[in-house]
Amino acid sequence: MSRNLPVLVVQEASRPHGIDSELLDFEAELAAHLSDFGADFEPPRMVVYPELHLCGATGTPEQRKEQLEAAAEPIDGPRHQHLSRIARNLGVWLLPGTVCERGEGGHLYNTAPVYSPEGERVAAYRKCFPWRPYEPYQPGDRFEVFEVPGIGRVGLAICYDIWFPETVRQLAWLGAEVIINQVATTTCDRAQEQILVQANAIFNQVYMVSANSAAPAGRGRV
C-alpha cells in the first residue's frame, strides 16, 4: 500500500536564539514556505529545519558557549509554547531545528523537538554524539522514534550522530522507516557526510532526510 509523507526541507542560515520577535518572524517565514508547499500535497505534511536553526551561535568557542548559555531553556519553556502554537496554527508536523536545552543540573543538550499538527510535542531527542571538543553539550542517553499515524515510524539523528553506524541501525531496529538528520556542518567534509547518509540508507533499508544549514553557518549543501 502506498504511503505518502510530503516533506519540506528548509535550508537556511541559523537565527539568533528564540526571543519572541524572532519566533514571530519564524512563523511568518514558515507560513510563506507552506504557501508554495501546501496546495498540491495532502496532509500529513512535515517541515524540517536544520540543526540549531533557532539558536545560532558564532565567534570563538568562548563566545559560542556564552550565546548558547543565553539561548538555553528547559524543554517545556517559553520557546516550546511558541513552537507548539506554530505547529497547531499551521497544521504541520514541525521539526523546527534542534534547540539548546537546559537540562538536569544546568547542563546543555542539543535537542531535536518534534511537534504534531495538534501542537503536541511527540519527541525530544538529545544528540548522543556531540562533536567534541567544539560542542559544549552533554550527550543524550537514548535514541528516539515517533509515530506518524497512518504512515509509519520516523527516527531522529543529529549531525555527527550518523558517523556512527550504530545510530541508524538502532533506529531501524526501533522500527524507523525514515530517519531525519538535522545538520549544521561548518567544515569541508559535507561531501563525505552525504556519502554516509546514502550508505546508511542502503545498509539499513531506510529513507534518509538530511537538512544542512545554509552559509555562513553551513557549507551550502543540502
128, 144, 159, 193: the active-site residue: 159
Catalytic residue check, 159: yes
* Cβ neighbours, 10 Å, residue 198: 12
Q: What share of the chain is helix, strand, coil (3-state, %, to 5)?
A: 35, 25, 45
CA–CA separation, 66 and 70 (whole Å): 6
The contacts of residue 105 (CB under 8 Å, 6+ apart) are none
Q: Cα torsion at 72, 76, 77, 81 (round to 10°)?
A: 130
Catalytic residue check, 55: no
C-alpha cell at 35: 504557501
Catalytic residue check, 127: yes
C-alpha cell at 95: 521539526
CA–CA separation, 17 and 99 (whole Å): 9
* Cβ neighbours, 10 Å, residue 67: 18
DSSP states along 43-62: SP-EEE--TTTTS---SSHH
Sign of the CA dihedral with 160 first, then 165, 171, and 176 last: positive
100, 127, 128, 193: the active-site residue: 127
Catalytic residue numbers read 51, 127, 159
